[in-house]
Amino acid sequence: MAAAIDVKGWCPGVLRPMQSGDGLIARVRPWGGAIGLADAKALADAAERFGNGHIDLTRRANLQIRGLTEPSLNGLQDVVATLGLVDQDARAEAVRNIMVAPLAGIDPGEARDVRPLARAIEKGLAADTVLHDLPSKFGFLVDGGGSVSIAGERADIALKTVGQAVALGLDTPSGTMWIGLASPDAAVKVALAAARAFLGVRCDRRRLRDLDEQDLVRLRAALAPMLDVIEGDVTIASNRPLGVLSFGTNRFAAGVAAAFGRLEAHQLWNFATMAEEAGAADIRLSPWRSLYVEARDITSARLLVESARGIGLIVEDTDPVLRIDACPGAPACRSSSVDTRRDALRLAALPFKGNLHVSGCAKGCARSAPANLVLVGEQGRYKVICNGTTRDAPERTIVAEDAGALFDV
């Protein structure tokens, strides 16, 4: 398979990787937000063989394989193609950005199993070449309304089941605006129509939230005939439980996370083996850089959680590391002059309230939402921002060793 090398890009893919400080990065987008256990092992082996063994869990619920070289890229591409995880071309791959509730089809609290809706959107994106012009960060969200919901996450176009209907949400500067209801059979058609309508009004806007009020009104007017009226806001806060999950109906699952989303190849391989022993069929990815699997019973779920702890995964949602977002930083990223994850781990040991974003540069790849404290690397130092994002004006600049003084210790 021919390699297409881009030095920079918004989101890397398998067919269009991105250059970073530790080599090329290829993003693998699992279909429907899930990856089979055998496929997970094959990707772990490929990450070790063709890359540097580092695998990142992304905020888009994807896997990124790092440390590839131009000669080794073809080998990875062949593996991913054999697994059926690659698209027909790089443009189709770039727009297949769909987050799915990680316990879809498992959580009995769902109003509907939304996996068929997600697969239909994937097929629609692949078939409609007009939609291949969507910006590479443009994304969709599909949520079934269960107890582990992603409806509070940001996506340009969101679908969430509400009773027997499906609500359509559009991203705005202030968050998701739920604009109407459609039948389950019509929901995918409406979501794809919303994406086409965005292309018709976007001008130079990269995301739906970048539209001005007039363009947003035009977009809503184009969709109104396809929707029924919705009352109120259907968004609920995202719930990110880890450990043993019991649903009270003899169904069980387990959730684990990786510090800052970094998995080593051996961890993914071992976790897939443990999941198989627990009775799981696949691994579900989430936008919180955590993984979920179904277990056959409570004993299997508990054993899986303890085994995951033993290979260095996070199994408690109170772990302070989970309150910190940190990009790979130096030397893995050429845009960074600071070792973000080293500093983040040191800060995780300190008592602090709220959340923290440690970013290697002003791009803020690890987190787009505001954080209580933001540290932005620049020339080996950190700019300090309180209650904002990497794009806000800093209050001061400090050296990494002084970051601990920002907390009451």
Read off the pLDDT of residues 42-80 as tens digits, 9 standing for 90 and up.
999 999 999 999 999 999 999 999 999 999 999 999 999
How much is the mean pLDDT over the chain? 92
- For the cut 60, the answer to whether the pLDDT of residue 144 exceeds it is yes
Q: Which residues of 181-220 are buried (b: 16+ CB within 10 A; e: fewer)?
A: bbebebbbebbbbbbebbeebbeeeebbbbbeeebbeebb
* Backbone phi, psi, residue 127, to 5°: -80, -30
**What token pair was written down for 260?**
């800052």
What's the pLDDT score for residue 8? 44
Q: Which residues pair with 399 in a beta bridge?
A: 381
Residue 301 contacts residue 227 (beta carbons within 8 Å): no
Tally Cβ neighbours within 10 Å of residue 239.
Answer: 14
**What token pair was written down for 240?**
């990110």
Mean local confidence (pLDDT), 113-135: 95
> Mean pLDDT: which of 192-206, 349-363, 395-409 is highest?
349-363
Mean local confidence (pLDDT), 141-155: 92
Measured distance CA(33)–CA(233) in Å, rounded: 25
Mean local confidence (pLDDT), 331-337: 88
What's the pLDDT score for residue 400? 85
What's the pLDDT score for residue 369? 85
- For the cut 60, the answer to whether the pLDDT of residue 153 exceeds it is yes
What's the pLDDT score for residue 202? 66
* Helices 298-310 & 265-277 angle (0-180, nearest 10): 160
* Backbone phi, psi, residue 165, to 5°: -110, 180
- For the cut 50, the answer to whether the pLDDT of residue 409 exceeds it is no
Q: Which residues pair with 29 in a beta bridge?
A: none
* Backbone phi, psi, residue 82, to 5°: -60, -35
Q: Residue 295, class by beta-carbon neighbours within 10 Å (0-12 exposed, 13-18 middle, 19+ buried)? A: buried
Measured distance CA(156)–CA(192) in Å, rounded: 11
